[in-house]
Amino acid sequence: MMNIARLILALLFVVGSAMTSPASAGDIEAWQERLFVALKRQHILSAGLRLVTADYVCTLRVGAADWRVINTVEHAQNAEVPRAYNQIVILDRRLKLIRSLPYAGQRPLFCRGARLFVFGDYGIDNTEPYGNTLTFHRNGAIGVSETDVNALPIEPTGKRRTYRVE
């Protein structure tokens, strides 16, 4: 019985270590390095800019697939005033690019199922409609709608007992 428990724990450790997003604090640096290499290898990052941050935001659940939402901010070198290039980057479980969405004043906030909620109104390819809720579909299409900020599917901070990461 004890050997079976050890085997299960060993398998859980191996599976957890192979995940494409961090399973524990100890995995964060290795995951960040894998993410940076994946972004660079797929030419998602701009060669003439400096990557300031690449943050994991949340995971979209699109059909049976899990898509990672990454927020990247790159700054221009030698600019007299700060110039930034921001992107919402959607990656599959193997960190392969699904879609990149450049933005200026908006910001990705959190996911619920196949929906990504953003701060500010976003239009895909700067075209209408604009909205703060992006709904992703398996065929690559993205629907845009408006959700009242007072009706966002999150609890007030004071009422939350724990922070739930998806």
* Residue among 103, 116, 115 at smallest CA distance from 73: 103
- pLDDT tens for each residue of 117-146: 999 999 888 778 899 999 999 988 999 999
- pLDDT tens for each residue of 79-98: 777 788 999 999 999 999 99
The band of 156, judged by pLDDT with boundaries at 50, 70 and 90, is low
Q: What is the pTM of this model?
A: 0.76
Q: Where are the domains of the chain?
A: 2-159
Report phi then psi at 57, rounded to 5.
Answer: -100, -55
